Amino acid sequence: MRKNILIIQGHPDTSHDHLGHALAASYKKGATESGYAVRTICIANIDFPLLRTYEDFYSCEPIPVIRQCQQDIRWANHLVIFYPLWMGSMPALLKAFFEQVFRPGFAMEPVDGGRKWVRLLKGKSAHIVVTMGMPAFIYRWFYGAHGLKSLERNILKFTGVGPIKESQIGRVEESQAHRVCWLEKMYIYGKKGR
């Protein structure tokens, strides 16, 4: 089966490229060289409103740009999500994006009066890539990687996505050699479609 890969670039800053952008580009290069079909969503370039009420989430029709993102997610069988760690979690814009896109009827569907949920994104895998200033082992062991685990459990697994791989890249300002090492790893992950 041909692998369709969707890269979700979750960095909200468009003023210049960051390590996450370079990592995504390296992954994409490897994936396209292996013959995978690759699409990209850059959330910083999407204009969408915040959901503010229960009614907005459950009954409001998504705007066209969000519907297009949903189509891209439907098309993909592998999602690769890049974002920087901000205050222990994903940036607010990325969270708002997931709230807009992963709605009932697209990502999950309540049944039995809302006591159970049907996961509508089964069959998709994911790779989450998080960059951070602190050492990754501190985030993982001392803080429990709670922000990453929330995305993994409460959004992706809840909607049926799995298996999920994660890469936590700490000390992003450490050295050029450290950055180059991770760029090479992302290229290899792209080549393998992981």
The alpha carbon of residue 157 and the mean position of all alpha carbons in its chain are separated, in whole angstroms, by 12
Q: Are the CB atoms for 189 and 30 separated by under 8 Å? A: yes
Low-confidence ranges of the chain (pLDDT < 70): 1
CA dist 53 and 55 (Å) reads 5
Predicted confidence at residue 1, as pLDDT, reads: 57
What CATH number is given to the structural domain containing 150? 3.40.50.360
Predicted confidence at residue 125, as pLDDT, reads: 97
The domain of 50 spans 4-192
Tally of domains within the chain: 1
Predicted confidence at residue 42, as pLDDT, reads: 97
